[in-house]
Structure 1
Amino acid sequence: MEFRPCIDLHEGKVKQIVGSTLGQKNVIENFISEKDASYYAELFKQDGLTGGHVIMLGPSNEEQAKLALTAYPGGLQIGGGITADNAKKWIDAGASHVIVTSYIFHDGKLDMERLKKLVEAIGKEHIVLDLSCRKRDGKWYVVTDKWTKFSDFEVNRENLSFLEQYCDEFLIHAVDVEGKKSGMQEELVQDLAKWTTIPTTYAGGIRSLEDLERFKTLSGGKLHVTIGSALDIFGGNLPYQKVVQYCNS
């Protein structure tokens, strides 16, 4: 189990927001940093954390994203508006991987042509598929377009096994609890631990060291974890350094 940190960018600033409000008129912002993205990238580099993700939530974030990648080349993944046409630009800029959702899931369906084009452009070893999901009718489905639209793609053992042929890792937000510091989606954690065979990072709702211990138990230590709004470096109460120490131990 590794701690995978995050740098979320919105309107050119490092922020923590409730992701499910992104498509709405009033975005709920948990935290707006006075520091730029390079500060956090250097912190994660100093602590030897790899596989963290920089997410560009909307336009006007490329400058900050490049600052982070320059500060920690090879140590961060990048997501937000990634396509087969621009993916190599971000790998060349220092990202270890690109993260994609809406590009390969559009009009509610998985677009295999786009996914294969992405693999051809940069290789599966540089691809993270973000399968952030919500529950409907007792099943998990990928949601797209800033988490506002259900796709018809079910997150289950069979489908994850199929997608593992085309990527290096999965990043999976539990959309209904992400950013709310309300506890994790325990059933999803257990399902992912059973279903995935490549590195998979879970995000959503973890707010304490007790939650981290519960996460480790539920996942059998098999999944990686990211924490955002709950961390003290993003205005929360959970000490970042204690999370680093816990996951390192």
Structure 2
Amino acid sequence: MLAKRIIPCLDVKEGRVVKGIQFLELRDAGDPVELARAYDEQGADELVFLDISASHEGRETMVDVVQDVASELAIPFTVGGGIKTLQDMKRLLRAGADKVSLNTSALLDPQLIKAGADYFGSQCIVVAIDAKWDESIGTWRVYTHGGRNPLDKEAVAWAKEAVDLGAGEILLTSMDSDGEKKGFNIALTKAISEAVSVPVIASGGAGQSEDFTEVFTDGKADAALAASIFHYKETSIAEVKAHLKEEGVNVR
């Protein structure tokens, strides 16, 4: 069985790492380059960098910051935010990213997933899904532009479509759980994990080590992403991995 991955996430706005609750009330969490260096040293399996306001502001990802972060890393590095074209992907991969994460642009133009997978290989293409429970449709609805705009699209169906188009991985964020620290959204994660054949990274809600065990065992995730509990030193990657090993979960 493949080892489960622990992935810190840098949500970057105006060159600084920020963290909020349900995508709102953002507060500063530090310098992205310093945090990247620290997470590499602490044993993170990968790092995700999301320029969270690029799509909303209609601009490209901050390539210079990506370059600075990549120079500190020996672990796989995924970058997302404001990627609209193959040229954007090429620019970020050249700047040091190993994978690119598509969210809003993939929803507005699903063929971008196929184009990226055909050109760079599926292993390079991560499709990020921001999903929120919608009582009116009885399932999870997909949102664009950093969780600002609801779409008439259901999360499980979109995950399947994205994988059919060539996505090599799904980065799944529960907007309901984001920043709440009450645990990952197990029902959502399990639904997506069972629906697709590629790895699913669970995101949103990590509050303690036990949450990671639950999302790997009950939620069937392949990787788990967290931000605030690592940024604000409420727990460490080493503590989470030690707990997972005790619980019999295979980690590096």
Instruction: Compute the TM-score of the two structures, normalised by the length of structure 1.
Output: 0.83
Q: Secondary structure at the match of 1:147?
A: coil
1:113–1:215 distance in 2 versus 1, CA, 3 Å: closer
Tell me which moved more, 1-10 or 92-101: 1-10
Q: What code does the residue aligned with 2:227 have? A: G
Tell me which moved more, 167-176 or 192-201: 192-201
Tell me which moved more, 116-125 or 62-71: 116-125
Which residue is 2:32 aligned to? 37
Which residue is 1:242 aligned to? 239
Q: What code does the residue aligned with 1:92 have? A: R
Q: Secondary structure at the match of 2:23?
A: helix
CA distance in structure 2 between the aligned counterparts of 1:184 and 1:47, rounded to whole angstroms: 22
Q: What is the CA distance between 1:128 and its match in structure 2?
A: 0.3
Q: Secondary structure at the match of 1:140?
A: strand
Q: Secondary structure at the match of 2:229?
A: coil
CA distance in structure 2 between the aligned counterparts of 1:10 and 1:65, rounded to whole angstroms: 13
CA contact (8 A) 1:164 1:198 kept: yes
Gap regions ≥5 residues in structure 2: 55-60, 245-250
Which residue is 2:168 aligned to? 168
**1:103-160 deviations in Å (ceiling 9; x for gaps):** 1213xxxx2333333334433221100012111121112210111111222122x543
Which residue is 2:192 aligned to? 192
- Which of 7, 11, 31 is equivalent to 2:10? 7
CA distance in structure 2 between the aligned counterparts of 1:176 and 1:207, rounded to whole angstroms: 14
Which residue is 1:64 aligned to? 65
CA contact (8 A) 1:88 1:121 kept: no
**1:75-99 deviations in Å (ceiling 9; x for gaps):** 2100011122311011111111000
Q: Secondary structure at the match of 2:65?
A: helix
Q: What code does the residue aligned with 2:46 have? A: G
Q: What code does the residue aligned with 1:29 have? A: L
CA distance in structure 2 between the aligned counterparts of 1:139 and 1:205, rounded to whole angstroms: 19
Q: Percent of pairs identical after alignment?
A: 19
CA distance in structure 2 between the aligned counterparts of 1:82 and 1:73, rounded to whole angstroms: 23
CA contact (8 A) 2:9 2:225 kept: yes
Instruction: Compute the TM-score of the two structures, normalised by the length of structure 2.
Output: 0.82
Report the aligned-residue RMSD.
Answer: 2.3
Which residue is 2:150 aligned to? 150
1:70–1:176 distance in 2 versus 1, CA, 3 Å: same
**1:186-231 deviations in Å (ceiling 9; x for gaps):** 21122123223211101011101222222233124x4310111122
Q: What is the CA distance between 1:48 and its match in structure 2?
A: 4.5
Which residue is 1:53 aligned to? 48
Which residue is 1:134 aligned to? 132
Q: Secondary structure at the match of 2:180?
A: coil
Gap regions ≥5 residues in structure 1: 22-27
Instruction: Say yes or no: does 1:20 pair with 2:23.
Output: yes
Q: What is the CA distance between 1:30 and its match in structure 2?
A: 4.0
Which residue is 2:113 aligned to? 115
